[in-house]
Chain A
């Protein structure tokens, strides 16, 4: 198979305009005859469903939560980037494009990233019009801040709840369409299979989480906006319900899965407290603006931090990266924290943590100024840990936060299965091997509001609308497949709980395929996962029946998919013999820093399912950089 990106040629500044003009349109009178299925209601799915409903399509929208407003986009704190240049500090579409390609360590498609930077400005306008209460200056204009080490102030925010406010904007637009009857919403409904007829995505099989009823929904196109797969690590900053089942089952129906090994670890999370830990809480990385990161110089030094004298502390980021200090990018800060903990110098009961110390900033700025800047974060930290960061240094540790990999899509956001579109974090995205802060919200909304409404129309205009019945062989086969998986999970009737397997799987991946990876470890992990997966199917205990609200059964199906995805993750990480962005291979480094290999790995690795038990196929989409010339990142 050859991957055709459909990215337009010609000057990049005009490529999206030119491409849009080349897209076919659907006659307004015909739009309501097209059923479109949208799975997921986060920033990407919610904005897509609302916009498509508004255009007049007949939209069926699904989410596993009890309401579309719960999607995990809601948890994003920091902000959303847009190249508005309101601050006259030299920002431009081109600079945002440049920063994103470089930040992604040159593993993203240039044309996509340029388009993302272009539409970023429309997103802000759209959201303001919807009533998103962005922070304002006294003059009434929009406020910006610089974020994640960016050199310009291009981040728009709504207190520490930017994701929430953007999601509520999309949710309200979606509910408006529900009220108008153009969108039908199916909450507490999980997609469990994709129906492919004559090579085209034509529908999905769902399970109602309330009563287990399986549903068959046909559409002329299927849009997946189901988020990332960070929960494969069990502990992550994702919501507990976040899962990869929709994209994984689409993968098993023929959609290629791109760059699974590009996962992002966020450096400033609250450390794990014990085995019972169910999720990790992220704190905005703005804390690194004033907090100093350190560990004791001596391994195993368990003294109270206040009684460790200055000369026995190691401010390792400041020493190693004198020009960026505590503000080095996420991947570098995370790996450095891991390295000191591996050397036995980690702090806290578990030894998996480093200090983020505000005592110097408190002396310099006073507690009032610190409270103004970080008050809510300090409160959150105290609520969770019971420690007061004004008195003792915070303890932080990296945690899985975002996955850059996902289903492969072309410039039109269509996967390798015609009619299957993938948006937001679920696709392999515009972020390359590493995502910049405040760019996830931007991509989700760009895909949903400003890209899919155009590209899906062109697809629909080119196909014949077909009406299928539930008796169609492909539909019956998909339903039987879902029923068989459920039956197998319920029938195992073993001894171990689903969570205990998930926790063990997560630990394997975190240890061998987390912040740093090596070939021996990845091989070992793949073997361990395969073994654990076999044990899971024999020995898992899922009580109750399919025909009820059964949260164990929901989890079991998702964990079953995480096992398979975890294996693919290791395989991809093993094949990519270079270090780039969030993917760090210990064998490929120079002087402790990541060593990219553009000669051999400047491509998107897209994996194809070849049947259970068979190794997946690897297809490469070469990446060409005409505008931003690849260079080595250096922060020393």
Chain B
């Protein structure tokens, strides 16, 4: 099939950037979306044109490095799918696609479709952990964890930190990302002693990074490739003094 792409090209953080149109014939339906871009880049290189920069690594939907807007939808908008796992059979001959980077003040563009998401790391550094030194913690079975709690913690811990939630949010909020970490650790007994401090410290850092607030719109939940639920945000909003491991 043949596609027409409109791709955001921006040389570096200072450059203003613009959309550039590319015709891509010869796309095979079994290709992944990134393999289609690889093919375009090979052709651009052979023609002496600068290939399109985009972040990617594992290409199996778990590292969280890839991500772009395809026709205004984060990762292309297919349920539970990162862009590296999106295959071309979902598109048809003649489709016109707009590719843009995640857009947020806190995610400055590095080049083209690649953005800097180190703000997420700083949020984790502010409090997204359980303070446990390497050494001799109690036996793994010393504190039983109800299966239901372990499962809820795991649901939230599945976050891959790709940033699709921020990209899809009309407010460019990072509430789903932060909520996921708060919820993961708050559901486990090991996470209790620090839960208030953790939640406040992460939210404070989130604000300092320039992410806006959540206004309960729900675009993040729809965009999340790991299908993390909006409920995790409620867990952040709860007065941290009362954050519980239960439903909240």
Contacts and interface: CB of A to CB of B under 8 A. Distances in A.
A278 B85 CA distance: 12
A133 B57 contact: no
Interface stretch (A292-300, A329-337, A544-552, A565-573): A544-552
B162 to A, nearest CB: 10
B105 interface: no
Interface string B130-171: 111111111111011111001101100110110000000000
Contacts of A66: 55, 65, 114, 116-118
Contacts of B114: 66, 549
A273 B30 contact: yes
B134 A131 contact: no
Contact of B38 (A173, A178, A239, A278): A278
B60 A129 contact: no
Nearest to A77: B62
A207 interface: no
A86 B144 CA distance: 13
Contact of A552 (B51, B145, B161): B51
Given A129-B130, A551-B53, A274 B28 contact: yes
Nearest to B117: A66
Interface string B202-230: 00000000000000000000000000000
A589 to B, nearest CB: 34
A136 B150 contact: yes
Contacts of A131: 129-130, 153, 184-185, 188, 190-191
Interface stretch (A160-168, A418-426, A464-472, A605-613): A160-168
Contacts of B130: 129-131, 172
A499 B42 contact: yes
Contacts of B136: 122, 125
A74 B158 CA distance: 11
Contacts, number: 217
A134 B150 contact: yes
A44 interface: no
Interface in B45-104: 45-46, 48-51, 53, 55-60, 62-65, 81, 85, 87, 89
A72 B8 CA distance: 28
Interface string A410-445: 000000000000000000000000000000000000
A135 interface: yes
A140 B134 contact: no
Contacts of A164: 62, 158, 160
A311 B138 CA distance: 57
Given A75-B58, A131-B185, A551-B51, A67 B147 contact: no
A457 to B, nearest CB: 13
A179 B126 contact: yes
A122 B140 CA distance: 9
Residues of B contacting A: mostly: loop
A133 B121 contact: no
A74 B141 contact: no
A130 B132 contact: yes
Interface size band for A: 35 or more
B132 to A, nearest CB: 4
Contacts of B12: 211, 548-549
A450 B11 CA distance: 44
A133 B117 contact: no
A158 interface: yes
A544 B11 CA distance: 11
A133 B143 CA distance: 13
Interface string A48-82: 00110010000000000111111110110000000
Given A131-B185, A551-B53, A386 B42 contact: no
A356 to B, nearest CB: 18
B39 to A, nearest CB: 6
A140 B140 CA distance: 11
Interface string A260-272: 0000000000000
A278 B34 contact: yes
B179 interface: no
A617 interface: no
A500 interface: yes
A70 B65 contact: yes
